[in-house]
Structure 1
Amino acid sequence: MKNYFILYMMPNCLTPIIRLITMKNKLILLFVVQILCLWQCAFADTDNPDVNYLKDKSRIESIVGGFYEGRFSDGTPFQMTLYYSKEDEKYSSYQYPRQLKGEAIGIRQSSFQGDSFTLSVIADDPNTEGKVLYKEEFVGTLSNDKKNASGIWTHTANQKKKTLNFSMQQISVYKEISVTHKSIYASRPLESYEVGFIDPTRPFKFSAVFPVFNDEKIDKRNLEDAAICDHDQECSNGIYILGYYNNLLSLSSEFWWYDAGSAHGHYSSLTRHYIWASGISQEVFLDHFLKFSPTCLAMLSNLVRKGLGEISGAKYFKITQQSYKQVKFLPSPLGLQFMFDVEEFGAYGEGTPPSVFLPKESIKQCLTYLPKSK
C-alpha cells in the first residue's frame, strides 16, 4: 500500500484502533499518539484486568427482580420487568408484545408491602405540559416464591375506567452483585499530574444486574458480560430482557464505566438473540431474520440511514456480510428496531442517536423470519 501505513494502538493504552494514515502526517500522528498513550497509561492504574468482581469475597448478592409473562382476563398478553424494591422502581416496565416497536412502558411509581404491590403508569401528553393522557395501575400479590402474581389492572382515561384481572408467571429472576473497594489511589501519594484530576477518597464501585435462566449457554454468556470491568473508578453492567416471543429470547448487554480523570462516563451495548425451546438454546444473528442478498443489504442500510436523519456520521452506516453481527437490533411481530449508542454516530454532545424502527411491510421482500406473539 504505497504512501500508507497501518497504525495499531496497544490495547493497554487506548481502545484498539486501526486507521490508514498518509505518510506526510506520520511523524505528527506518532507524536500525538505517544502523548495520548502516556496520558492514558498514567491514569490506567487499575486493578488486575483479569479480576472477576462477580467472585469477589466482599461482594453483596441479591435477587432484585424478575421478568414475567402475563395475561389480562380478556386474553391480551403482556410482559413485565418487575423490581421488588422502591429504590429500583425506575427500572420496572411492561410491554405488549403484539405492539412492541422497541420501547417498553415505564412504571412511574411502585410500592410494596410484603408480597403485595401497587404499580402506577402515568402517560403525559407530549403536546401539553401538565396534561395526562391516561393512567394505569396494577394492584397485585406475589406468591411466596415470587414465581407467580395476580391482581387487578385499572386503566383511566378521560374520566373513564376499565378494569381487568391479570396473572403473571416468572420466566427469569434478576440477580444483582455489587462490590465496593477502597480506591487504588488511596494507597499511595498522587503524582503531580494526578492532582486535581483524581479524588483518592472516592471508592471503586462495581455492580452488575443480570437474568438467570438455568440454561447453561445463555447463563454462561450473561456472566461473562456481567463481569466485564477494566476501569479504576466505576463499572455498572446490566443484562436485560428486551423481549420473549414463544421461543425467541432477545437480550441487551449494557456497560457503563468511569475512569479517574475522565470528563464523563462512557456507555456501550450489544444485543443477543436466542432460539430457546425445550432446554436447548442457539444464538442467532441478523441473517436469521433477513435475506443477505446485495440488494437487501443495500436497501436495509439505506432505510436505517434515512431513519438516523442528520446526526453526523450517519451517512456511513452500512450493513455488510462482515459487520452484521455487531448490529444492534430488536425483532418483534411488527418489524425490526435498530438501536445505537452515544458516540456511535456523532459527538457525545449530540446525545444518543435515534432508534430506527422498520415496519415489516417496508422490508417484506427481505424478511425470512419475525417472531409471533402468543
Structure 2
Amino acid sequence: MLEVLLFLAIGIALGILAGLVPGIHPNMVILFVPLISSLVTEPLNAIVMVAGMGVSNGIADAIPSIFLGAPDGDDALAALPGHRMLLAGQGYDAVRLTVAGSLASAALLLPLIPLLCYFVPPLFRATHQYTHLLVGGIAAYMILSGKNRAMAAFVFFAAGIAGVLSLQLPVDGTIILFPMLSGFFGISALLMQGSASAPQQKGEAPVSLTSMRGGIISGIAGGIASGFLPGVGTSQIAALFSSSKDDHKFLTMMGAITTINIVVSILALWLIDRGRSGIAVAIGDLAKIGMREFLATAFASLIAAAVASVITLRIAKIFLRLLQNQQKLRIGVIAFILLAVAMGSGAYGILVLFTCTALGVFTAKVGVPRGLLMGSLMIPVILFYAA
C-alpha cells in the first residue's frame, strides 16, 4: 500500500511540473510509457502513477492557461474567461474556480460509476459505427456557432491538414503532438500577449455557489461525453454544454470536464477495451485493466485531484508575484519549449512547431476560437473511423 502511494506521489509531482509548461497536454503522458515500464516492474504501481500524472497535469494546467493566456488544446476556451478575470484583478479566483470544479467533480463521479458500467457497453455497441458522424457533428457545430463561419472553417480544416501531414512524418505520432499542440496553443498564445504586465491583483472574492453547482453538473455530463468520444477535447465539449455567459460557471465547468474526461477514458478502457485518451492508452500499454485496476486508478485520481488542487493553489499565489514581469517568464517558457522540441523530435518537430505557431497566431489575429485548431486531431479521427 505504501509503495502504491509513493508512486502516486511521484506521478502527482511529475504531472504538476508538466502542467506548468504551456502546450503540454495531459495525454502526452504516453510519451513516458517506455521509461515507466522499464523502471516500474509492478503494473499496479505504474498505472496509479500514470493516473496521478494525468489528473494533476490537467489541474495544474490552469496556471499557464490563466496567467499566461497559453492553454493546451483542451483549455483553449477557458483561457479567454480566465484571462479576462486576470485583467480584472481576479486571476487567483479564476484558478480557484477551475480547481474547485476539478476536485468536486472527481468526488461526485464515484457514485455514478455503477450507472456508467451498466449503460456504457450497450450504448457503445449502438453508436460505434457512427463515431465519425458524431465527431463530425461536433466539428460542424464548432464552425457554425461562431460569427465568422468562413474563417472558422478555414482554420479548422487548415489545422486538420496540418494534423494529417504531421502524423505522416517519420516521427512517432505521439511525440509529434508536443510541437503541434505547443505551436497551436503554447507559443502562439505567448507571442500574442505582448509585453504588458498584468494589473494589480485583488484579494480573494466570494464565489457564487449557484454558478459552481451549475458548472460542476454541466462539467460532469460533458466530461463523460468527452471521455467516450475519440479526438474530442474538453474545449469542444464545453462549447456544446455551455449556454451561460457566467465566467465563474464556465471555469468551474472546464475544471470538471478536464478531470472527468481522464477518469471516464480509463473506465472506457475497462468496459469497451478502447483507449479514448493518451492517458488511457498509456495505462492500457502498462497493464490489462480489470475491476481491481480501474478502482485503483479511480481512487488514485481522487487523491491526485485533492493533492494537486492544494499544491496548484499555492503555486498560483507564487505566480501572482511573477506577473509583474511577464516578459521574462514568457521568453523562458518559449526557450524551454524550443529546446524540448529540438531534443524530442529534431528538425521535423521544429518545422511542425513553427508551422503550427504561425497558424495559431493567424487564428488569434482573425478572431476565431482557438478551439477550432483541435481540427488537427478531429479530422484524423473522422478519416480513421470513416474508412
Higher relative helix content: 2
* Structure having greater relative contact order (Cα 8 Å, sep ≥ 6): 2
Give the TM-score normalised by structure 2: 0.25
Task: Provide TM-score, normalisation by structure 1.
Answer: 0.25
Q: Pick the structure with more strand per residue.
A: 1
